[in-house]
């Protein structure tokens, strides 16, 4: 696993050993960014269920201003921190050792809106995809925001989350990625 493109292209990333997290493969990550836009001119990335932090680090490498990662596993947080240090993104990356359900309150308190919202919970935890609707309801998504959900290919996500409509759904092995825009 590595940074695929941008200013930190090619930097290898660590991931948590074992089955506690499921890192997004480089192939899937590259496909996601090819769909949502290969490079950014600023903005905020929010990654719920951070794992290794690779999606947020990729967004920073491609031009996002800052990123917030929510991860409750202490070992995964240590991996994310090590990856941020390796990529020299310690100032732009904010790691919150917290449940993803606290993300909305954190962003409200910091008066931030997400340009990119990554939702990739453990596949059995399907209730967490409703956080997309929660972010939309609380107006925590920027006008040009994109919601990216990685899920089991058999699991069907809704066609809309508020004003955000599914524009693409792609299957990669046992995983699928659904992308929403306004």
Q: How many residues does the chain have?
A: 182
In this predicted structure, what is the pLDDT of residue 124? Answer: 77
- Give the confidence band of 22 by pLDDT, cuts at 50, 70, 90: low
25 in a structural domain: no
Cβ-Cβ contacts under 8 Å for 125 (sequence gap 6 or more): none
Looking up residue 137, the CATH number of its domain turns out to be: 3.40.50.150
Strands (E), the chain: 44-48, 66-70, 93-96, 114-119, 141-152, 160-161, 164-172, 175-181
> By residue range, what is the domain housing residue 89?
30-181
Q: Please, are residues 16 and 49 in contact by the beta-carbon 8 Å criterion?
A: no
- Token pair, residue 79, equals 């991996």
- Residue 17 forms part of a structural domain: no
**Each residue's pLDDT tens digit, 47-71:** 999 999 999 999 999 999 999 999 9
Total number of domains in the chain? 1
Quick one: average pLDDT of 124-146? 92
19 within some domain: no
Question: Has residue 92 been placed in a domain?
Answer: yes
Residue 9 lies in a domain: no
Measured between alpha carbons, how far is 75 from 68 in angstroms, rounded to an integer? 17
The answer as to whether 159 is a domain residue is yes
With respect to residue 59, please indicate whether it lies within any of the assigned structural domains.
yes
């Amino acid at each position: 696993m590595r940074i695929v493109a941008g200013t930190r292209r090619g930097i290898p990333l660590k991931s948590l050993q074992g089955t506690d997290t499921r890192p997004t493969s480089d192939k899937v990550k590259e496909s996601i960014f090819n769909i949502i836009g290969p490079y950014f001119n600023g903005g905020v990335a929010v990654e719920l269920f951070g794992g290794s932090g690779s999606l947020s680090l990729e967004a920073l490498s491609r031009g996002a201003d800052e990123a917030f990662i929510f991860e409750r596993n202490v070992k995964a947080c240590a991996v994310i921190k090590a990856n941020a240090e390796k990529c020299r993104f310690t100032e732009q990356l904010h790691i919150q050792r917290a449940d993803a359900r606290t993300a909305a309150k954190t962003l409200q308190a910091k008066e931030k809106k997400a340009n990119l919202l990554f939702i990739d919970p453990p596949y059995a935890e399907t209730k967490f995809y409703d956080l997309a609707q929660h972010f939309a309801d609380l107006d925590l998504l920027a006008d040009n925001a994109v919601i990216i959900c990685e899920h089991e290919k058999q699991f069907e996500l809704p066609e809309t989350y508020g004003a955000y409509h599914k524009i693409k759904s792609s299957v990669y092995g046992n995983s699928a990625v659904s992308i929403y825009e306004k």
